[in-house]
A = this chain, B = another copy of it.
Amino acid sequence: MAVTVRARSSRLLAAHIVEELKHLIESGQVKPGERLNEATLAEVMGTSRGPIREAIRVLTGMGLVTPVPNRGVFVRRITVAEMMEIYEMRALIFGFAVERAAELLTPARRRILATLLDQMEAAAKAGRGGRYYELNLRFHAALVEFANNRRAARVYAECVNELHLFRRPPFNYAAKMQRSNVEHRAIFDAVVAGRGGEARHLAEEHVRSGRQRLLESLDE
């Protein structure tokens, strides 16, 4: 658990620590299965163990860590089976959201999506995998947001976060960016054309093919 901490902005309560811990987990500085040491974290964060424990409990409620009595909390470990389940869930919600987004599309939203698509294309051509990955997340998040269902958006975000627990971002996108982006374009076209049903189907397939790409990368 080698840890570096970012500067603290808000002096509001120790909800700050929650963000910090989430970042540590999602960025892979603490790995799945690893234990969170209260004393160490307290020292690093410059506080006492109280706020640390409370922040850890928030993560417990979010399901990012699992507590074991008298032994501490461990970063959740995702099995392949769980990953499959989460992907199914994600496909379901993404498909639903995209169909809604098609119904609720506005010119402003269309522009946002178009811009993201262009940027992704540029990133793909330039071979910038990290950049593409980030834009990819934002494209999906935007579509989900445009469904105007915060509950769905939250669950979707949770799925994405948990998938981070399984595999780090810099997994080999280089070869797959092009194909992925073709699918994005197809979804976008269907949404813009107002063909909600088709968009939904494409969105579900897109998530499934993303899962497939991840599975293949596991064999390497």
List residues of chain A with CB under 8 Å of any chain B CB: 12-13, 15, 50, 53-55, 57-63, 67, 69-70, 82, 85-86, 88-89, 92-93, 96, 149-152, 154-155, 159
Contact = CB atoms under 8 A, between A and B. Distances in A.
23 contacts: A12-B69, A13-B67, A13-B69, A50-B50, A54-B57, A57-B57, A58-B58, A58-B60, A58-B61, A59-B61, A61-B62, A61-B63, A82-B150, A85-B149, A85-B150, A85-B151, A86-B151, A88-B149, A88-B151, A88-B152, A89-B151, A92-B93, A151-B159
A150 B57 CA distance: 21
Nearest to A64: B61
A133 B92 CA distance: 28
Give the dominant DSSP class at A's interface: helix
A151 B93 CA distance: 12
Given A50-B50, A54-B57, A57-B58, 5 more contacts: A13-B67, A13-B69, A57-B57, A59-B61, A86-B151
A213 B21 CA distance: 43
Nearest to A57: B57
B13 A82 contact: no
Contacts of A53: 54
Contacts of A61: 57-63
Contacts of A152: 85, 88-89, 92
B15 A149 contact: no
Nearest to A148: B85
A5 to B, nearest CB: 20
A62 B159 CA distance: 15
A154 B158 CA distance: 12
A87 to B, nearest CB: 9
Nearest to A13: B69
A154 B12 CA distance: 31
Contacts of A82: 150-151
A83 B212 CA distance: 35
A65 to B, nearest CB: 10
Contacts of A70: 13
B89 A149 contact: yes
